[in-house]
Amino acid sequence: MSAARRLVVGNWKMHGSHPANAELLAGILGARPFGCDVAVCVPFPYLSETAVSLAASDLRWGAQDCSAHAQGAYTGEVSAAMLAEFGCRYAIVGHSERRALHGESDQGVADKAKAALGSGVTPIVCVGETREQREAGETAAVVKRQLSAVIHTLAHCVSEMVVAYEPVWAIGTGLSATPQQAQEVHELLRAQLQAASGHASRIRILYGGSVKPDNAAVLFSQPDIDGALVGGASLKAADFVAICRAAG
Ligand code: PGA
């Protein structure tokens, strides 16, 4: 069970353009105030304009990845310190698309989370099982293994991260986990975090995977769901705002 204020994060993925971003951010800004924390994680090139648009507001922004390295010969990568220079509050790490398409390992994800925290950027660590793993009854083992690497690497800083449970089969499919399915996994993750940190109620565990205005409220009514990581629905201001309103 968590006592933390809810958090709704938009994951724009590889979407956007100057005019589309301006319209989307204006739509979100115009709908304030929200009763929850709200952030958008945007493609790297748009961090600067997002920072300018949101600087005077209580909305936060972040990136969708960061390097595990501080600096050096890593062509194409972006360090957490660079994200901090752009005012990023958050960096998503270990999204299933990066695990699947870029071969990111559990330990690699944990190293990214550590690098983010080291620069004052809060990592949003994604975990989640594939459909095959769920059908094989491996959900608990998979998410525990993914989280365990991060817990061991972050050690005493564990409670400073955000966790996002995103079942891979629910991402971008329109097929959300049921509130009960999500709660079951969130409860497991909370217990694992409690054993590691002693104060898991402070750690926000977001649900992600086809969150929409019409399923947000019932997901948020679950005791261990502290918010959402929203993909597709974060690209339409009206939908994203409706999800934020459902959160608080
Ligand atoms: P979705 O994506 O909301 O489009 O399912 C969620 C995510 O990948 O973070």
Residues 160-200 pLDDT 10s: 999 999 999 999 998 889 999 999 999 999 999 999 999 89
Residues 6+ apart with CB under 8 A from 24: 16, 235, 236, 237, 240
CATH code (residue 188): 3.20.20.70
More reliable by pLDDT, 172 or 23: 23
- With beta carbons less than 8 A apart as the criterion, state whether 70 and 81 touch: yes
Helix axes 106-118, 139-154, angle to 10 degrees: 40
The helix (H) or strand (E) run that includes residue 86 is none
Question: What are the structure tokens assigned to 43, written together?
Answer: 């493609």
> Quick check: helix, strand or coil at residue 1?
coil
Would you list the DSSP string of 94-115?
S-HHHHHHS---HHHHHHHHHH
Residue 2 lies in a domain: no
- With beta carbons less than 8 A apart as the criterion, state whether 50 and 61 touch: yes
Q: How confident is the model at residue 1 (pLDDT cuts 50, 70, 90)?
A: low
Confidence check: pLDDT of 92 > 90: yes
Residue 105 lies in a domain: yes
Residue 88 lies in a domain: yes
Q: How confident is the model at residue 4 (pLDDT cuts 50, 70, 90)?
A: confident
Helix axes 237-247, 18-30, angle to 10 degrees: 30
Between the CA of 14 and the centroid of ligand 1 the distance, in Å, is 12
Between the CA of 163 and the centroid of ligand 1 the distance, in Å, is 14
Residue 236 lies in a domain: yes
Angle at 45 between CA 41 and CA 49, to 5 degrees: 75
**CA distance readout (Å), 214 to 32, 217, 221:** 20, 7, 13
Residue 158 lies in a domain: yes
Q: How confident is the model at residue 2 (pLDDT cuts 50, 70, 90)?
A: confident
Domain count, the chain: 1
| Straight-line distance from the first to the last Cα atom of the chain, in angstroms, rounded to the nearest whole number | 17
Q: Is the CB of 229 within 6 Å of ligand 1?
A: yes
**Four-residue CA torsion sign, 112, 117, 47, 97:** positive
- With beta carbons less than 8 A apart as the criterion, state whether 8 and 220 touch: no
Residue 103 lies in a domain: yes
Whole-angstrom distance, CA of residue 10 vs CA of residue 202? 21
Tell me the percentage of the chain whose pLDDT exceeds 90: 96
Q: Is the CB of 239 within 6 Å of ligand 1?
A: no
- With beta carbons less than 8 A apart as the criterion, state whether 195 and 229 touch: no
Cis, bond preceding 45 (omega within 30 deg of 0): no
Nearest CA to ligand 1 atom 3: 231
The identity of residue 42, as a single letter, is: V
Host domain of residue 128: 7-247
Q: How confident is the model at residue 3 (pLDDT cuts 50, 70, 90)?
A: low
Residue 229 lies in a domain: yes
pLDDT of residue 236: 98
Residue 31's nearest CA partner among 66, 57, 55 is 57
Q: How confident is the model at residue 76 (pLDDT cuts 50, 70, 90)?
A: very high
CA 60 to chain centre: 13
Residue 41 lies in a domain: yes
Torsional class of 209: left (φ above 0), alpha (ψ -120 to 50), beta (otherwise):
left
Catalytic residue positions, numbered: 95, 166
* Residue to probe by mutation, ligand 1, list 171, 207, 210, 212, most atoms within 8 Å of CB: 171
